């Protein structure tokens, strides 16, 4: 029954997917005498947490009830009060938590406070599922770096465009709609200058229902982004352009005059220092970055070890051509044994295309992610 009710909490936590950053996704279910008397989820940063919504719904029925919560109740004052205190005041009898909060301001203190108040505490119910739910939050809160997601779309023979450069459209409309749903869940979307020059993309979320536009991030070492580019001229989302210290100052000034934020970063042999860029994005509470670039930027973010998760769409088409580009350029791996490996892979059919999703083996923060997902009871 503990797992049954925790799955309910995990399900409702996902209702706010993409809306709580930089906070985690949290769901809470209150059970008394074998029935749910209250439930809630954290809806947006700065608003009441999941436990508070659930307690409000339960009212007096919360007394002597059991609370199932996907993340340890907070114990500190931020923009809202401590949820642990609210559970104590409601005279909750038992708290079942999926995982401990990796935030150093909490990190077990919430559960300790509950135990000190005489409340029975059980930890680790569906811990792995809870850790995956908050994979973005865990990476950012532990390392200070955004969770990096690489999306590619290619033909059956591994091409992202024909030898002429023509690429619209490799995947089906269903796959493209799915990509917009993914954009809706991440804080930032990143491409290289090559994509801007070739496609003049909007980099927005276009869904039948209301969508959320991520912050647009352009890697453009020499500030070549045209002043007429859509990422410059429209105001659908903020745009950050990362240039190197070698970028012409007049180009940088012109972009800034158009209202675009320009970050001048250290020059590297291949352009912009991407690790420094991600560090700055993390400091700005941009917890996740969705990369939809071309061969050059894809190779660069992989080489810089900035990717945690990969979404690869494969279309049932054959393009051929020895000069037609593949998803990842750069120098490449010298021997197959050194290939970048994916784990926890899944495959699903999206329209006529296959979507393979997996996690980079040995990614930054992986050990902490696994630790958060361990099962512990007390």
Work out the number of other CB atoms within 10 angstroms of the CB of residue 296: 18
Q: Is 369 annotated as a binding residue?
A: no
Q: Is 298 annotated as a binding residue?
A: yes
Q: Is 304 annotated as a binding residue?
A: no
Q: Is 372 annotated as a binding residue?
A: no
- Tell me the residue ranges of DSSP E strands in 206-331: 215-219, 239-244, 261-265, 267-268, 271-272, 288-291, 309-315
Longest CA–CA separation in the chain, Å = 70
Q: Is 294 annotated as a binding residue?
A: yes
- Cβ within 8 Å of residue 35, ≥6 positions away: none
Q: Is 49 annotated as a binding residue?
A: yes
Q: Is 164 annotated as a binding residue?
A: no
Q: Is 167 annotated as a binding residue?
A: yes
C-alpha separations of 32 from 47, 53, 63, 247, 324 in Å: 26, 16, 9, 63, 62
Q: Residue 313: which of 351, 279, 280, 283 has the closest Cα?
A: 351
β-bridge mates for residue 342, sequence order: 360
Q: Is 35 annotated as a binding residue?
A: no
Contact between 236 and 208 under an 8 Å Cβ cutoff? The reply is no
Q: Is 153 annotated as a binding residue?
A: yes
Compute the half-sphere exposure of residue 120: CA atoms within 13 Å on the CB side of its CA. Answer: 10
Q: Which residues are catalytic?
A: 51
Query: Taking the alpha carbons of 61, 131, 123, 7 in that order, is the dihedral positive or negative?
Result: positive
Cis bond upstream, residue 246 (ω within 30): no
Question: Using CA atoms, how far apart are residues 342 and 231, in angstroms rounded to an integer?
Answer: 32
Q: Is 206 annotated as a binding residue?
A: yes
Q: Is 299 annotated as a binding residue?
A: yes
Q: Is 292 annotated as a binding residue?
A: yes
Q: Is 378 annotated as a binding residue?
A: no
Question: Using CA atoms, how far apart are residues 271 and 289, in angstroms rounded to an integer?
Answer: 19
Residues that constitute the known binding site for Zn(2+) = 49, 74, 83
What residue numbers does the annotated binding site for substrate cover? 167, 183, 203, 206, 292
Residues annotated as binding site? 49, 74, 83, 153, 167, 169, 183, 195, 199, 203, 206, 221, 292, 294-300
Which residues carry a binding-site annotation for NADP(+)?
153, 169, 195, 199, 221, 294-300
């Amino acid at each position: 029954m503990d797992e049954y009710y925790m799955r309910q909490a995990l399900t409702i936590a996902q209702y706010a997917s993409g809306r709580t950053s930089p906070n985690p996704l949290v769901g809470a279910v209150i059970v008394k005498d074998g029935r749910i008397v209250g439930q809630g989820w954290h809806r947006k940063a700065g608003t009441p947490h999941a436990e508070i919504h659930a307690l409000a719904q339960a009212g007096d029925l919360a007394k002597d009830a059991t609370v199932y919560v996907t993340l340890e109740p907070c114990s500190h004052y931020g923009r809202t009060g401590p949820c642990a205190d609210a559970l104590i005041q409601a005279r909750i009898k038992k708290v079942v938590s999926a995982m401990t909060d990796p935030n150093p301001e909490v990190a077990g203190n919430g559960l300790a406070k509950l135990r000190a108040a005489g409340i029975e505490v059980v930890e680790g119910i569906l811990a792995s599922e809870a850790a995956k739910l908050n994979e973005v939050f865990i990476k950012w809160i532990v390392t200070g770096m955004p969770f990096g997601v690489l999306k590619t779309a290619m033909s059956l023979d591994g091409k992202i465009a024909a030898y002429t450069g023509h690429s619209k459209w490799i995947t089906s409309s269903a796959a493209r709609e799915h990509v917009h749903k993914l954009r809706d869940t991440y804080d930032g979307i990143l491409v290289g200058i090559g994509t801007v020059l070739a496609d003049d993309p909007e980099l927005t979320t276009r869904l039948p229902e209301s969508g959320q536009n991520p912050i647009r991030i352009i890697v453009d070492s020499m500030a070549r982004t045209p002043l007429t580019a859509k990422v410059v001229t429209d105001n659908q989302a903020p745009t950050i352009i990362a240039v190197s210290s070698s970028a012409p100052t007049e180009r940088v000034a012109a972009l800034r005059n158009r209202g675009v934020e320009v970050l001048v970063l250290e020059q590297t042999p291949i352009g912009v220092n991407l690790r420094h860029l991600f560090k700055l994005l993390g400091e700005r509470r941009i917890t996740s970055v969705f990369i939809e670039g071309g061969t050059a930027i894809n190779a660069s973010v992989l080489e810089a070890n900035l990717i945690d998760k990969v979404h690869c769409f494969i279309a049932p088409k054959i393009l051929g051509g020895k000069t037609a580009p593949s998803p990842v350029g750069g120098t490449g791996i010298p021997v197959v044994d050194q290939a970048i490996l994916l784990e926890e892979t899944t495959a699903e059919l999206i329209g006529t295309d296959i979507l393979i999703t997996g996690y980079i083996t040995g990614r930054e923060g992986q050990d902490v992610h696994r630790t958060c997902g361990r099962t512990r009871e007390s």
